A and B are shown apart, each in its own frame.
Chain A
Amino acid sequence: MNFRDPDSMNLVIGNVLRYGVLLSAAIVLFGTLLLAASNGFGDSSDFLTYINNQVPHSSFYVSFSSLFNGLASLNAFAWIELGVIVLIATPVSRVLISVFLFAAERDRLYMAVTAVVLLLLLFSMLVTPFIPLFQG
């Protein structure tokens, strides 16, 4: 593929977004069907009272090991969480791949711009949640 052709960059980035979204939607749908099959005919107001009272801790899995266990045991919430993680990872992958696409175009200015955006993004997503300054 010729990355110097601006169309091919649009195509690659467009496809990263498209397949990320489709994968995420498929996983969330699977989780939602599991949820409907297991709990779907319970009363939502009981459930809403239950989750609203859980602030600030929702029923999402926090650790990776509990997430894997949940996926293995076909837990609806674990599958939905995986789908949401794929959805959040989609724009991040788009920025990551852009760094390489600009590198292939030998466009150093934009390679630097996207690399800085990627670093800021990863810092914000993965580091700031654990710094007390950001927990207000």
Chain B
Amino acid sequence: MLIVEFIILIFLFSIAAGVFGSIVGLGGGVVVIPVLTILFGVNIHFAIGASIVAIIGTSSGAASTYVKDRVTNLRVGMFLELASTTGAITGAAMAAYTDSSALKIIFGSILLVTVVLQLMKLGEDIPKSPELKGLSKQLGLKGSYIETDGREIQYNATRPVSGLAGTAVAGVLSGLLGIGGGGFKVLSMDMAMKLPMKVSTTTSNFMIGVTAAASAGIYFVRGDVDPLIVAPVALGILIGAAIGARVLMRSKNPTIRKAFALVLAVSAVEMILSAVGVIS
């Protein structure tokens, strides 16, 4: 294969990764890592380096649309970033002393359980909004956005401390394993804080760029970011994220939940398979 062909193929796969990643709020890593390692024979280090760049690209590329359209909740995002960045630093510090295979199996299994929980609430459109009280009220964790049918959806967040704890776990996983963060961020907002699905995935999408940027320095200094691989990934992801953002704005919450459950299941299986050595 010529280098130009190699670049164009990775570019096309990355567009697909950007579309899915920006809709479900997980970034493109869940697609980019297996495509690079299994299909193209790229070393896992460079694949993870490319995935970090892919996550930042998905996040920033789609967030510009989501933020302007006010579907992302900036206050929820910035409040939870306290936990995700702290978690990412803690995870990175633990990496040398932790058996990553055992953790991947544990967290992969937890994710599989949450897939079942997601499937049980597939039909839910907008959750019944809880009363705004306590810490949520002090932090102003509420918002509104316009649904596809023109309704203005007003919502309040509940259980901010549980959301913070779930996001801290997400941060530790990204710092420790380089993967798995986005899923737990969406789950924290969806299951603990009771935000509408669209708000959860787009606010996760908003936050994952910061979590990934936090660990980018380490991968850069280690030399895990290779230009030949990263260039087509970055370009494809940015185009994919722009497309994904438009698709999300026209999709209904139950559709987004289906896509999220699917990507979450793939991500969980990937984690478990890589722990037992079936895939790198």
A binds B: yes
> Chain A interface (Cβ within 8 Å of chain B)?
6-7, 9-11, 13-15, 17-18, 20-21, 24-25, 28-29, 31-32, 35-36, 39-45, 47-48, 51-52, 54-60, 62, 76-77, 80-81, 83-84, 87-88, 90-92, 94-95, 98, 109-110, 113-114, 116-117, 120-121, 123-126, 128-130, 133-136
Which residues from B are CB-within-8-Å of A41? 2-4
Whether the Cβ atoms of B231 and A125 lie closer than 8 Å is no
CA distance A77 to B231 in the complex (A): 9
Interface contact tally, CB-CB below 8 A: 216
Whether the Cβ atoms of A32 and B220 lie closer than 8 Å is no
Q: Mark B189-205, 1 if CB is under 8 A from A, else 0.
A: 00000000000000000
Whether the Cβ atoms of A43 and B45 lie closer than 8 Å is no
Q: Within the complex, which residue of A18, A29, A57 is in contact with B223, where a contact is CB–CB below 8 Å? A: A57
8 residue pairs of the A-B complex, CB under 8 angstroms, read: A31-B231, A55-B223, A84-B225, A90-B209, A91-B210, A91-B212, A121-B214, A124-B217
Whether the Cβ atoms of A113 and B78 lie closer than 8 Å is yes
**Smallest CB-CB separation from B41: which chain A residue?**
A48
Whether the Cβ atoms of A121 and B85 lie closer than 8 Å is yes
Is B42 part of the contact surface with A, judged by Cβ < 8 Å?
yes
Is B93 part of the contact surface with A, judged by Cβ < 8 Å?
yes
Whether the Cβ atoms of B3 and A43 lie closer than 8 Å is yes
CA distance A113 to B228 in the complex (A): 38
Which residues from A are CB-within-8-Å of B65? 14
Which 8 pairs, one residue from A and one from B, show the smallest C-beta to C-beta distance? A136-B96, A44-B6, A91-B209, A14-B68, A18-B64, A124-B214, A125-B217, A129-B221
Interface residues of B: mostly helix, strand, loop or mixed?
helix
Q: Mark B205-227, 1 if CB is under 8 A from A, else 0.
A: 00001101111111011111111
Which residues from A are CB-within-8-Å of B5? 44
Q: Mark B128-157, 1 if CB is under 8 A from A, else 0.
A: 000000000011000000000000000000
Q: Mark B66-86, 1 if CB is under 8 A from A, else 0.
A: 011010001100110110011
Q: Count the B residues whose beta carbon is within 8 Å of the partner chain — how many? A: 68
CA distance A10 to B63 in the complex (A): 10
> Chain B interface (Cβ within 8 Å of chain A)?
1-7, 40-43, 45-46, 49, 53, 56-57, 59-61, 63-65, 67-68, 70, 74-75, 78-79, 81-82, 85-86, 88-89, 92-93, 95-97, 138-139, 209-210, 212-218, 220-232, 234-235, 238
Whether the Cβ atoms of B234 and A84 lie closer than 8 Å is yes
Whether the Cβ atoms of A121 and B213 lie closer than 8 Å is yes
Whether the Cβ atoms of A128 and B217 lie closer than 8 Å is yes
**Residue of B65, B217, B221 most packed against chain A (CB within 10 A):** B217
Whether the Cβ atoms of B214 and A35 lie closer than 8 Å is no
CA distance A59 to B1 in the complex (A): 21
Which residues from A are CB-within-8-Å of B235? 25, 28-29, 32
Q: A76-B227, A129-B220 are in contact. Are A120 and B214 (CB under 8 A)?
A: yes
B49 to chain A, nearest CB (A): 8
Q: Within the complex, which residue of A81, A98, A114, A116 is in contact with B227, where a contact is CB–CB below 8 Å? A: A81
Which residues from A are CB-within-8-Å of B1? 43-45
A121 to chain B, nearest CB (A): 5
